[in-house]
């Protein structure tokens, strides 16, 4: 993921290679290339311009020390600003309540049902809770069947009422079932459409009003780029959700959704999902995503997974980048 964006940003930093100091001329060239890379990654031009203006101001305000090159300093500034653009800090899911109710929303094909099962598995295995899934897509029997199959795979009960065509009623009955069967988290999978429409918006709004969920998550396909951001805004205007989930990050994503969505809806990205396996759900860490975008994604893997199958050369490169970033961070924040 993000290969094209990473390559373009690396190319932008190369314009500072060999430069002895930061100047308005060499910064202008670098910033122009960074902006172009962001726009090509499907980031809205206004967001890209504001981002690069901030980077430029901070770069020109820094004095480069002999131990740090202009290129290294620019990488550090861009990393910090990417982290801030994507939310700054990791935000946990809220599972308070008896039971806690998590409402899942999104368009058809966004990976919503698969995410619901992954989330149930995460809550069960990582948080030690007893979750239950509620199948509230009253339009697609295939979605109910899919949820039941996934629920069986992870050992989580799925409440379904195929004959009932009232999503609010199904959800309420599911919650009552959870209370009497010692399930302390209910994840409500809802219907999606191929595009935003009034009927879908009315239904998901009624569900939220009736259930008063502790958490409402909006699931978006990260491969759709800026379209995902526009859809998220339309949902948030009506639903006022609590957080965003980015799916299909293992595909050919250009990065636009990950970089733009927090800026547009002012809601945190809470999870990222890759592939179909139930253990491929990750908490979203803005700083780690920034590192990945800047081609330093293996640093975290190296620290957390020492037995990974990285080659010795990649391990050595990761160590070198890790040392450089630590050095630059100390200089950057002490100056």
Are residues 282 and 149 part of one domain? yes
**Residue bearing the bigger pLDDT, 274 or 50:** 50
Rounded to 10 degrees, the C-alpha dihedral 304/308/312/314 comes to -70
CATH number at residue 189: 3.40.50.300
pLDDT in tens, 190-234: 988 766 778 888 888 999 999 999 999 999 887 777 778 888 888
Residue 324 has what pLDDT? 55
- CA-to-CA distance for 252 and 273, rounded, in angstroms? 14
Number of structural domains the chain divides into = 3
Asked whether residue 191 is assigned to any structural domain, the reply reads: yes
Are residues 140 and 282 part of one domain? yes
For 149, counting Cβ atoms within 10 Å of its Cβ (0-12 exposed, 13-18 middle, 19+ buried), the class is: exposed
Could you list the residue range(s) of the whole structural domain that residue 119 is in?
100-219+272-291
DSSP secondary structure of 80-109: HHHHHHTTSS-------STTEEEEEEE-TT
Residue 253 has what pLDDT? 58
Q: C-alpha distances in angstroms, 208 versus 31, 241, 330?
A: 43, 10, 46
Are residues 186 and 116 part of one domain? yes
Closest to 48 (Cα-Cα) out of 316, 290, 263, 326: 263
pLDDT in tens, 34-77: 888 888 888 888 898 999 999 888 887 665 554 556 777 788 88
Asked whether residue 242 is assigned to any structural domain, the reply reads: no
The token duo for 316 is 């050595």
Q: Which of 16-20, 78-82, 178-182, 243-247 has the lowest mean pLDDT?
A: 16-20
pLDDT at 322 over 80: no
Asked whether residue 162 is assigned to any structural domain, the reply reads: yes
Pairing status of strand 281-283 against strand 269-273? antiparallel
Q: Given CA atoms 102, 107, 109, 110 in this order, what sign does their dihedral have?
A: negative
Q: Which of 61-65, 137-141, 273-277, 288-292 has the lowest mean pLDDT?
A: 61-65
Q: Given CA atoms 162, 164, 166, 172 in this order, what sign does their dihedral have?
A: negative
Is the Cβ–Cβ distance between 110 and 249 less than 8 Å? no
């Amino acid at each position: 993921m993000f290969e094209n964006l990473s390559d373009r940003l690396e190319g932008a930093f190369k314009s500072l290679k060999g430069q002895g100091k930061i100047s308005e001329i060499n910064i202008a060239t670098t910033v122009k290339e960074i902006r172009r890379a962001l726009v090509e990654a499907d980031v809205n031009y206004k967001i890209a311009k504001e981002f690069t203006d901030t980077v430029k101001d901070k770069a020109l305000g820094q004095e480069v020390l002999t131990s740090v090159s202009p290129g290294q300093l620019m990488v550090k500034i861009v990393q910090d600003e990417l982290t801030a653009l994507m939310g700054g800090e990791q935000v946990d899911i809220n599972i308070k309540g008896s039971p806690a109710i998590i409402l899942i929303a999104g368009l058809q094909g966004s990976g919503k049902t698969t995410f619901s099962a992954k989330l149930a598995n995460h809550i069960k295995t990582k948080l030690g809770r007893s979750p239950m899934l509620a199948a509230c897509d009253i339009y697609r029997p295939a979605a109910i069947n899919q949820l039941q199959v996934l629920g069986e795979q992870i050992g989580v009960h799925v409440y379904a009422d195929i004959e009932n065509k009232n999503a609010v009623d199904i959800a309420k009955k599911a919650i009552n079932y959870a209370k009497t069967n010692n399930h302390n988290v209910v994840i409500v999978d809802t219907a999606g459409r191929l595009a935003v429409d009034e009927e879908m918006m009315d239904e998901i709004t009624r569900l939220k009003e009736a259930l008063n969920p502790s958490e409402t998550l909006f699931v978006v396909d990260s491969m759709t780029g800026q379209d995902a951001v526009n859809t998220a805004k339309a949902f948030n205007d009506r639903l006022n959700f609590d957080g965003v989930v980015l799916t299909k990050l293992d595909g050919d994503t250009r990065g636009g959704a990950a970089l733009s969505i927090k800026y547009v809806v002012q809601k945190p990205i809470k999870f990222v999902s890759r592939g179909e396996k139930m253990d491929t759900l990750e908490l979203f860490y803005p700083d780690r995503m920034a590192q990945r975008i800047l081609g330093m994604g293996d640093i975290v893997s190296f620290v957390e997974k020492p037995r990974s199958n990285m080659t010795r050369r990649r391990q050595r490169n990761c160590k070198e980048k890790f040392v450089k970033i630590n050095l630059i961070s100390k200089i950057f924040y002490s100056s």
